[in-house]
Structure 1
Amino acid sequence: MYSPVLLELFNIGGPEFILILFVALLLFGGNKLPELARGLGKGIRDFKDASEGVKREIHNQINSFDEKPSEPEYRNNYNTDTETDTHNSTAVSEEHEKAETSVKKEY
């Protein structure tokens, strides 16, 4: 009927709990009391669901930070083929010249 944890939380004993139920019965009546209990139960359930959702979201965020991002793969760019090296160096120098001219045009 009642939760021992709740009673320990508020330091309520058996006689005090029965007195509280009796006063509630007098105030709200026998017909209204079950409706209030259902509403209270639904509110508590919604609160627990919301708190579980928040906990789940926090754990998901923590777990996403724990995962290391994938390391980029490094390729060996050292070729012994001189033709490829010459082609790469000219392509890089052309890109460098284009970048310099575009920067000069902006100023």
Structure 2
Amino acid sequence: MAENDEKLLAEFEIRMRQLMYLCDVLKVENSQLKEELSQKVLIITGLESEVGELKAKYDNLKFVKSFTSDGDGKDLQHTKKRLAKLVRDIDRCIAMLKY
């Protein structure tokens, strides 16, 4: 009976050591994954700010492009009308803010 208990105890000890080793391996892997995740978050944050800057530049380009003409008289007249409308809208907004 004592021999059987010793075998069980030895087997339990072996399995426990294996389990502890696997736990240590998983802890190392977990810390590596956390580090990798934090690096990816930093990269994503940088890319999101770059996307925001590029969107602002694109919007500015669209705005400028809407007021430029190719030398055609129609485009120039259209641009003048749009600018006049914008000025009227701004004047109206300023007048509304004063009251």
TM-score, structure 1 as length reference: 0.47
Greater RCO, CA 8 A, separation 6+? 2
TM-score, structure 2 as length reference: 0.50
Which structure carries more helix by proportion? 2
